[in-house]
Chains A and B, each alone.
Chain A
Amino acid sequence: MSQTVEPTTATTPATPPSRTRRPYKVGESRLFVKVATYLALILAATVYIFPFLIEIGTAFKTDADATANPLNPIPHTWTTAAFHQLAQVDFPLWFANSAIVAICVTAGRVFFDSLAGYALARMRFRGRSALFSALVAVLAVPGVVLLIPKFLVLNQLHMYDTYSGMIIPLIGDAAGVFIMKQFFESIPLSVEEAAHIDGAGTFRTFWSVVLPMARPSLITLTILSFQGSWNELAHFIVSRQNPRLNTLTSGVATLVSGQLGKGNQYPLKLAAALLMTIPVAVLFFVFQRYIMRSSEGAVKE
C-alpha cells in the first residue's frame, strides 16, 4: 500500500485553489508510479463495480442460468420473469414510503442539526459544554440497543404504525450536530461580527450568512442523512407492522428471508436488489454532480 500512496501525495497532497499554483518537484510524475497508481485504481474499481454488473445481469437470467454461470454477467437467455414476479408485490408503495421517510428525515436533520451545531459552536450560554458532553455521550449510545424501548415509547405515544413514528425518531441525530459544530468552529468569526454590526439578529445571521458558507458540510450531512434513513432497516422493523407502511428495506428484507426465501431464486432476489438500487442511484448521481461542483468551486473562500 505504501508504494501506491506515495505518488498520489507527491502530486497533490491537498486540493488547493488553483490560483495558488505552485511548482511541482522534478521527477515526481515518474511513469511507473503513475502506472502503478492507475493499476491499483482500476483493480479497486473493478472490485467495486463488478458486483453491480453481476447484480444487473443476473436479474435478467433464469434460475438455472444464474446457478450455472455465476461469473458471467451476461444472461444466456434474457428473461424478465423475476420482475414480473416482483410486480405482484407492493414495490412502488415501498419505494414511495422510503422516499417520504428519507426526504423528511433528511430535511429535519439538516435543519435541526445545523441549528444545534451552530449554537454549540458559536453561542455562549450556561450549560453549553455540559450539553456538548451529553451529546457526545449520546453519540456513543448504540441505536440498536434502543430497538426494544423505542418500540415501547412509540406505542405509548400512539405513534406506532404511523409515518410520524417512522420519521420523527430518526430526526434526532447527535452525529449530525457534531459534524455541523465542527464546521461552524472553522468559520472565521469576523464574518458573523460583520453581520452583527449590520444589525442582523442571531437567527438571521445564522440563516443568511453562516449557513450558506456551510454548504460543503451541509452537503455531507445531506448525503449521510439521506443514505442513513434510506438504508435504515432496524427502526422500520420495530416502528411499524402494517404492510402498507413497508419501506424498501423492510419490504425486500422480508421478501428475501420470508416465503420466497426458500431456495436460491437468485434472479428474483437480485432483481429486487437492483430495483431498490435504481432510485438511489439516480438520486446519487444528481447529488454527485453537486458534490463535484461544490468541491471544485467552493473549497476555500
Chain B
Amino acid sequence: MTVDSTAGLSRAEAEVAARSARRPPRRRPGIRGREAAAGWLFTAPVIVLIVLFLVIPILMAIWVSLSNWTGIGSPFSSNVKFVGTRNYRFLLTQDGLSRQNLMQSLRNNFYYVLFVVPLQTALALFLAVIVNRRRLAGRGFFRTAFYFPSVTSSVAIVIVFLFVFGGSGVVNALISKLGATGPDWFSQQAGIFHLGLDKIGVHKAPGVLANHAFLGQSWWEWLSGPSLAMLVLIILAVWTTAGTFMLMFLAALQGISADVEEAAVVDGATSWQRFWRVTLPMLRPTLFLVLTLGLISTWQTFDAQFILGATNPTVVTPAYLSYQTSFNNQQWGQGAAISFILFFIIIVLAAFQRWVLRDRDEAREKRMIRKQRRAAAAGRSS
C-alpha cells in the first residue's frame, strides 16, 4: 500500500488551513541534520512498539501458518515442519469443513460490514450535525446520551443486548404487545433475505442459484443475508459505535471555518445545498477516516462472538474462527492462515475504498475550490 503524506487524506483540511499555513517550507540546510535526528527520535518509541508487537508477531504468524505446529512447545522447535501452503489449501481450495466454515464466516462478516459501515457512518453524521447546533436545547444531554454507549464496555453492552433480544426479553415483549410472537433471536440461522423471500412466496432457491456454487457454497447461500442473530449484532455495533464517530464528525464540524460557511450563505445557497456542497466536502477527510476505521474494525469483530460462545454458526466471523481454530481446536497453522486471509481481505478492501473515494474527492474538491474563490470574491466586494 503506498500512501504519501500529502495525499487526499489531509488535502481538504490542509485547504482549510491554507490561508494561514503552507506546507513546511524547506528550512535552512544547517538545521536538517538535527531535525532528522529529532524526527527519528520522536517516532522511535512508536516504531519500536510496532515492530515488537506487530511486525515480529506477523512474521511469527506467517511461519506458523506455513507449518504443522500443533501448539505444543515453541513453534521454532526442530519437530515443527514446514508444510508449504497446506493450511491455505484446506481453507481455500479443498472441499471440506475448513473451507465451508471459513466461507460461512466470510459471508457472515460480509453482511455485517455491508450493514454496519453505512449505517453507523450515516447515523454518526446525522447525530453530529444535529447535536452541533448551537441553539439546541439540551445539546449536552443529547451529546452525552449518544456518546455514552461508546465508552461503555463491549462486554456490558453485549450483556444488555442478550437481555433485550433474549427469548423472554424486551424486544419480544414489545412484539407480543403488538400481538405477534418474537423470534428466538440468538439461535436463528436463516438469513433475512431468505426470510423475506419466504414471506413473498419464494420458499426454495431458484435452480440457477442453488445449483451453482462458489468456493463450496451455493449462490443461494451466499445471498442469504445476515441471520437474525447477526442482525442483533449489527444493531449492537451501529448503536455502540455511532457515538465515537459522531465525536469525530463533531470535531471536524467545529474545525470548519465560519468564513466558508458564511460565504456559502452569502452565495445564496439553501441550507440543504450548503450541507451537500460545502459541509460534506469539508468533512471528507473525516468521512474517509470514519469509513476506513469502520471497515477495518467491522472485519475484526470478535468480542460479541467470544461472549456469546458463538454456538450459532451464522454469527461466527473469521476473527473468531481463527481464535477458535487455534486456541480451542489446537489447529494453530490453520488459525494463523485464517488470520492472513482476513488480513489480505482488509488490505484489499481498504485500498479499494481509498481508490473509490479519491476519485470522487478530486471532483468535489474542484467544486469546493470554485466555491471558495467565488465566496472570497463576494467577500471582497461586500
Direct contact of A and B (CB under 8 A): yes
Once A41-B142, A112-B45, A276-B153 are accepted as A-B contacts, the answer to whether A144 and B133 lie under 8 Å apart by CB is no
Q: Which residue of B lies closest to A177 (CB)?
A: B46
User: Which chain B residues border A252 with CB–CB below 8 Å?
Assistant: 153, 155-156, 159
- For the complex, give the distance between the alpha carbons of A83 and B332 in Å: 40
Does B67 touch A at the CB level, under 8 Å? no
Does A71 touch B at the CB level, under 8 Å? yes
Does B355 touch A at the CB level, under 8 Å? no
B 136-181 contacts with A by CB, 8 A: 136-137, 140-164, 166, 168-170, 172-174, 177
Once A115-B45, A273-B156 are accepted as A-B contacts, the answer to whether A51 and B50 lie under 8 Å apart by CB is no
- Evaluate contact between A145 and B340: CB separation under 8 angstroms: yes
User: Which chain B residues border A13 with CB–CB below 8 Å?
Assistant: 256, 261, 264, 271, 274-275, 278-279
User: Which chain B residues border A277 with CB–CB below 8 Å?
Assistant: 152-153, 156
Q: Which residue of A lies closest to B13 (CB)?
A: A186
- Evaluate contact between A48 and B133: CB separation under 8 angstroms: no
- Evaluate contact between B261 and A266: CB separation under 8 angstroms: no
- Evaluate contact between B42 and A12: CB separation under 8 angstroms: no
- Evaluate contact between A8 and B153: CB separation under 8 angstroms: no
Q: Which residue of A lies closest to B61 (CB)?
A: A149
A 226-257 contacts with B by CB, 8 A: 226-227, 230-231, 233-234, 237-238, 248-249, 252-253, 256-257
- Evaluate contact between B50 and A138: CB separation under 8 angstroms: yes
Q: Which residue of B lies closest to A133 (CB)?
A: B3
- Evaluate contact between A280 and B151: CB separation under 8 angstroms: yes
Size bracket, chain A contacts: 35 or more
Per-residue interface assignment for chain A, residues 148 to 166, with 1 indicating a CB less than 8 Å from any chain B CB and 0 otherwise: 1110110001000000000
Stretch in contact with the other chain, from B185-193, B199-207, B298-306, B356-364: B298-306
- Evaluate contact between B271 and A28: CB separation under 8 angstroms: yes
Does A143 touch B at the CB level, under 8 Å? yes
Once A25-B265, A153-B56 are accepted as A-B contacts, the answer to whether A131 and B50 lie under 8 Å apart by CB is no
Stretch in contact with the other chain, from B210-218, B223-231, B243-251: B243-251
Q: Which residue of B lies closest to A203 (CB)?
A: B38
- Evaluate contact between A230 and B151: CB separation under 8 angstroms: yes
Interface of B is mostly: helix
User: Which chain A residues border B141 with CB–CB below 8 Å?
Assistant: 45
Does A197 touch B at the CB level, under 8 Å? no
B 248-264 contacts with A by CB, 8 A: 248, 250-251, 253-259, 261-262, 264
- Evaluate contact between B146 and A48: CB separation under 8 angstroms: yes
- Evaluate contact between B319 and A22: CB separation under 8 angstroms: no
- For the complex, give the distance between the alpha carbons of A37 and B279 in Å: 19
Stretch in contact with the other chain, from A74-82, A84-92, A119-127: A119-127
User: Which chain B residues border A285 with CB–CB below 8 Å?
Assistant: 144
* B258 partner, pick from A10, A20, A157, beta carbons under 8 A: A20
Does B21 touch A at the CB level, under 8 Å? yes
Per-residue interface assignment for chain A, residues 18 to 31, with 1 indicating a CB less than 8 Å from any chain B CB and 0 otherwise: 00101001001000
User: Which chain A residues border B248 with CB–CB below 8 Å?
Assistant: 220
Once A125-B39, A133-B2 are accepted as A-B contacts, the answer to whether A112 and B156 lie under 8 Å apart by CB is no
- Evaluate contact between B57 and A12: CB separation under 8 angstroms: no
Q: Which residue of A lies closest to B335 (CB)?
A: A148
Does B43 touch A at the CB level, under 8 Å? yes
- For the complex, give the distance between the alpha carbons of A13 and B34 in Å: 44
- Evaluate contact between A119 and B20: CB separation under 8 angstroms: no
- For the complex, give the distance between the alpha carbons of A148 and B343 in Å: 14
Does B336 touch A at the CB level, under 8 Å? yes
- Evaluate contact between B258 and A116: CB separation under 8 angstroms: no
Q: Which residue of B lies closest to A14 (CB)?
A: B256
Does B307 touch A at the CB level, under 8 Å? yes
- Evaluate contact between A142 and B342: CB separation under 8 angstroms: yes
- Evaluate contact between A4 and B130: CB separation under 8 angstroms: yes
- Evaluate contact between A5 and B50: CB separation under 8 angstroms: no
Per-residue interface assignment for chain A, residues 91 to 108, with 1 indicating a CB less than 8 Å from any chain B CB and 0 otherwise: 000000000000000000
User: Which chain A residues border B327 with CB–CB below 8 Å?
Assistant: 148, 238
Per-residue interface assignment for chain B, residues 269 to 287, with 1 indicating a CB less than 8 Å from any chain A CB and 0 otherwise: 0011011001100000100
- Evaluate contact between A54 and B36: CB separation under 8 angstroms: no
Does A67 touch B at the CB level, under 8 Å? yes
- Evaluate contact between A133 and B275: CB separation under 8 angstroms: no
Does A35 touch B at the CB level, under 8 Å? no
A95 → B minimal CB distance (Å): 11
* A113 partner, pick from B16, B46, B54, B135, beta carbons under 8 A: B46
- Evaluate contact between A190 and B275: CB separation under 8 angstroms: no
User: Which chain B residues border A110 with CB–CB below 8 Å?
Assistant: none
- Evaluate contact between A54 and B170: CB separation under 8 angstroms: yes
User: Which chain A residues border B172 with CB–CB below 8 Å?
Assistant: 70
- Evaluate contact between B20 and A188: CB separation under 8 angstroms: yes
- Evaluate contact between B154 and A295: CB separation under 8 angstroms: no
- For the complex, give the distance between the alpha carbons of A186 and B255 in Å: 10
- Evaluate contact between B133 and A189: CB separation under 8 angstroms: no
- Evaluate contact between B58 and A233: CB separation under 8 angstroms: no
Known: A9-B129, A14-B279, A149-B336; 7 extra A-B contacts, CB below 8 A, are A13-B278, A14-B257, A125-B35, A153-B52, A185-B17, A256-B155, A273-B159
Q: Can you name 23 A-B residue pairings with CB atoms under 8 Å?
A: A8-B129, A20-B262, A119-B39, A125-B39, A132-B4, A141-B58, A141-B343, A142-B299, A146-B53, A149-B64, A168-B49, A171-B49, A182-B9, A182-B10, A203-B38, A216-B254, A233-B303, A233-B307, A249-B155, A252-B155, A257-B309, A273-B160, A284-B144
